[in-house]
Amino acid sequence: MFEGSDSEEISMEDEINRVKTGIPGFDELCGGGIIRDRTYLISGTSGAGKTNFSVQYIYNGITKYGENGIIVATEERPEQIRENVMKFGWDLQALEDEGKLVIIDACSTRKNMSMSDHSTHVQ
């Protein structure tokens, strides 16, 4: 791994159970990618890059590794996400049109509900 690191080396078996993100430097940092069949929480303050990181992972999975993807938009409307990531050349609309990506709009639904409706809906 890293020089001076106390971490164990990643075995070939571990590498097989990892999913590459395609994000430069991240897969190497994680020993070949994130562990398959796990749930990950991307956390940070506003503007930290959570959405860009997540969309890049989904985009790379589709375009580099032949996967399909789902994005659940909870803070921004899908149109905003599509527009924001076009600056990186990530054409999400094209992937949607090809049937490789689905973006679920949970943001608009949530904003149109009263607080009591939202609580009931979540339960």
- pLDDT tens-place string over residues 20-61: 999 999 999 998 999 999 999 999 999 999 999 999 999 999
Domain count, the chain: 2
CATH of the domain at 68: 3.40.50.300
pTM of the model: 0.76
Pairwise CA distance, residues 31 & 20, whole Å: 10
CB 22 within 8 A of CB 56: yes
Cross-strand partners of 101: 69
Same domain, 22 and 79: no
Range of the domain at 17: 9-40
- The reply to whether 1 falls in a domain is no
Same domain, 31 and 78: no
CB 81 within 8 A of CB 50: no
**Closest among 55, 49, 66 to 90, alpha carbons compared:** 55
- pLDDT tens-place string over residues 77-100: 999 999 999 999 999 999 999 999
Which pair of structure tokens corresponds to residue 2?
């890293």
- The reply to whether 3 falls in a domain is no
